[in-house]
């Protein structure tokens, strides 16, 4: 039987959050609507984060209200705290994601609190999500390296991931936020992870700064991971991880998985339509966008 891999599209959130020019909500909605036809089970559509921290996500509610929902797709949003969760729930998201870091330096820069404090914040998010029946995904950023502290110990990642799972996250996405990881780093990380949790609860979130994201996916497949994040057109980065380039492009991920004999359910032609829209965003002069 062909093994199927879940490709989790994060472009509209992880990708667009890093664009400096303000992209019109209608353009974001158009992108999500195309992606909604491409076969993804889940699309991370936006983030209910502070607009002071990430201005690009300020229109999260408008975006959620404007999309034409495909009933077969779960529309997810990133939430940093209970306020973000409440707004996401009100906007009708199907799933939320909380995001912690495995390094103190990145946690401070990205969400202005320590790793322990972020866990406290997530406790109330998890309780509210449970009451509302909303599944929660957890990210662990800087799972390999931190832009402020250098290499990150696999055991630190494991400990944060275990806490998130314990709190009720259904899956943990391991973020190579800086995109500096190599297949050997991935193997070291996953050795530590799979000793303490099932590979089926883990996803790979690779940024392609070093051009090794596909190789890193292949290494992670050896450990039994069956979910990988991609961003259409290789959009992305993180505003609080200087130098981190785009996410692994969804097409590169899907094409490689298909070559390796995996099934993804993603329609490459529809993905190409979405890529064209992304190319249009990139080609627009800043004054048109803002």
For ligand HMG, the binding residues (CB under 6 A) are: 14, 17, 47-54, 78, 80-81, 83-84, 87, 99, 110-112, 139, 141, 175, 177, 205, 238-240
For residue 121, the minimal CB distance to ligand HMG (Å) is 8
Give whichever of 50 and 70 is closer to ligand HMG, judged by the CB atom: 50
- CB 7 to ligand HMG: min, Å: 16
- Smallest gap from residue 41 Cβ to ligand HMG (A): 18
CB of 194 to ligand HMG, least distance (A): 19
Smallest separation (angstroms) from ligand HMG to the CB of 86: 8
142, 169, 227, 238: the catalytic one is 238
| Binding partner of 50, given Mg ion, ligand HMG, none, CB within 5-8 angstroms per partner class | ligand HMG
Q: Can residue 95 be called a binding residue for Mg ion (CB under 5 A)? A: no
| Partner from Mg ion, ligand HMG, none binding residue 53, C-beta < 5-8 Å depending on class | ligand HMG
**Which lies closer to ligand HMG via its Cβ, residue 20 or residue 112?**
112
Query: How many chain residues interact with Mg ion (CB under 5 A)?
Result: 1
* Residue 155 CB partners (closer than 8 Å, separation 6+): 192
Name residues contacting Mg ion, limited to 3-62 (CB under 5 A): 14
Q: How many CB atoms lie within 10 A of CB 195?
A: 9
Distance separating alpha carbons of residues 249 and 240, to the nearest angstrom: 20
Helices marked H in the chain: 25-35, 60-66, 82-90, 104-111, 115-132, 154-167, 183-194, 213-222, 250-259, 268-283, 286-289
Q: Give the residue carrying structure tokens 């599944």.
A: 135
How far is the C-alpha of 161 from the C-alpha of 143, rounded, in Å? 10
For ligand HMG, the closer of residues 14 and 171 by Cβ is 14
238 labelled catalytic: yes
In whole angstroms, how large is the CA radius of gyration of the chain?
A: 17
Query: 131 vs 128, 160, 164, 233, CA distance in Å?
Result: 5, 23, 17, 36
Terminal Cα-to-Cα distance of the chain (whole angstroms): 49
Residue 43: strand, helix, or coil: strand
Which stretches of the chain bind Mg ion, using CB under 5 A? 14
Give the residue numbers annotated as catalytic, written as ranges: 238
């Amino acid at each position: 039987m062909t093994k199927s891999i879940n490709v989790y599209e994060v472009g509209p959130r992880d990708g667009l959050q890093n664009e400096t020019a303000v992209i019109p909500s209608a353009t974001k909605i158009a992108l999500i609507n195309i992606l909604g036809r491409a076969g993804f089970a889940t699309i991370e559509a936006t983030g209910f984060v502070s607009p002071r921290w990430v201005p690009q996500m300020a229109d999260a509610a408008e975006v959620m209200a404007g999309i034409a929902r495909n009933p077969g797709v779960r529309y997810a949003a990133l939430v940093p705290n209970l306020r973000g969760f409440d707004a996401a729930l009100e906007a009708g998201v199907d799933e939320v994601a909380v995001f912690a870091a495995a390094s103190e330096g990145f946690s401070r820069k990205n969400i202005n609190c320590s790793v322990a404090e972020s866990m406290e914040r997530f406790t109330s998010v998890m309780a509210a999500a449970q009451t509302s029946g909303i599944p929660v995904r957890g990210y662990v950023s800087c799972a390999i390296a931190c832009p402020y502290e250098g290499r990150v110990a696999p055991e630190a990642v494991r400990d944060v991931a275990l806490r998130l799972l314990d709190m009720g996250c259904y899956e943990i996405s391991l973020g190579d936020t800086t995109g500096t990881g190599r297949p050997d780093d991935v193997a070291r990380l996953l050795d530590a992870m799979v000793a303490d949790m099932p590979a089926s609860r883990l996803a790979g979130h690779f940024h392609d700064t070093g051009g090794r994201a596909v190789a890193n996916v292949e290494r992670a497949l050896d450990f039994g991971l069956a979910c990988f994040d991609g961003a259409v057109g290789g959009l992305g980065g993180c505003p609080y991880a200087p130098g981190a380039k785009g996410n692994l492009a969804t097409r590169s991920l899907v094409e490689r998985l298909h070559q390796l004999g995996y099934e993804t359910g993603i329609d490459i032609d529809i993905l190409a339509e979405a890529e064209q829209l992304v190319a249009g965003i990139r080609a627009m002069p800043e004054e048109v966008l803002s």
